[in-house]
Structure 1
């Protein structure tokens, strides 16, 4: 299925995964990279190639998703500017590190931390009404999120979205802004992978992920606009907790 002869039936599972992952990512600001990278690695694709393939696809899906969020007025442009430049810087560093060394040793610890953040957001969504505040710690989140996204095949959404929500930012604006800024991060990561690994890093699975992701991209922004803030906190917290726990089990297995 990965490389060699392939047909439409071989693409269908990846189309389904791309669609589901992008629906979640567009509505909640996270999970496309984590879900897609986990699938590719489980099928035997090397981590660097899996991350390269996913980010190549995300270069297109994040563009479609970002435009959809702009259309639905889900983007805070001041917050976008503060996230984008540090995110791109971290992405270059993370992509370079992944092509030179294995970053798997730190992955369980990062996932455990994100799991705790997910539990906190879930609890906050259940027990408290969101109180909106302007986030203060933004640039460091962009740098760390970009680095982890490149080095781990996913991480921009979970790191940046969760921490902005914890600081009290508006959930709808956070999700729309993080998704839109992600386009620039993923394009940077893809360009870095091409420069260091060449086009051989990209697999045929990318086509399936791309078809499914582009099909789902317009719907996520529409969902983020209409779901109540408290419910968004619960869903984000639940998805972050579950995906982090799955990642921890896979990393330690």
Structure 2
């Protein structure tokens, strides 16, 4: 009977787990300590990355491109406020292009073709519209210089303080302005600005006409009508050649 009772007691003890002291449950095992002591400490870079999170991608440049495109559209949306583009000689003709051009054919675009051909005789090599314009302007400059010399001699012969002296002095003033315009037109031609060239030639022609208007109003013939007329015709030819080159896209 005791052996049987003992087996019952032994079985009951085996089924009931024995209490584990709390200090044993909290105490880490030597194995865990050994494993933990072998790990390397985290670096400062790792700690910073863990605190701040993953790196952010760089900002996109797309918004800046959109803003720049919008500004360009706004600036280009007011063509009326912008100055008209300057026309230029885009194509060289004649000797510069390796071909020969007939001066008479080019001069046919002018109102005074014979005077144009006469001015072209001083051109070396083959003629071109640009060379013909330069020759006409140079001839006009010589004519206006001759008119200035003629006016200077006339003013010495007239009486002081009368109307004739005033008219000659007016011619001397406009001749100075016309000469400056013709010289500036040569510079405009050299840099290829047809727009400035045409404006300066038109201004020179208007100055020359002013000299003769005073005599016309008084019913008198201008003593400077011949050089004035030749200067006006030469400037007109240069202007016609410049306009023809614009129409041809040159």
TM-score, structure 1 normalization: 0.29
Structure possessing the higher relative contact order (Cα contacts under 8 Å, 6 or more residues apart): 1
Structure 1 or 2: larger helix share?
Answer: 1
Query: Normalized against structure 2, the TM-score is what?
Result: 0.29
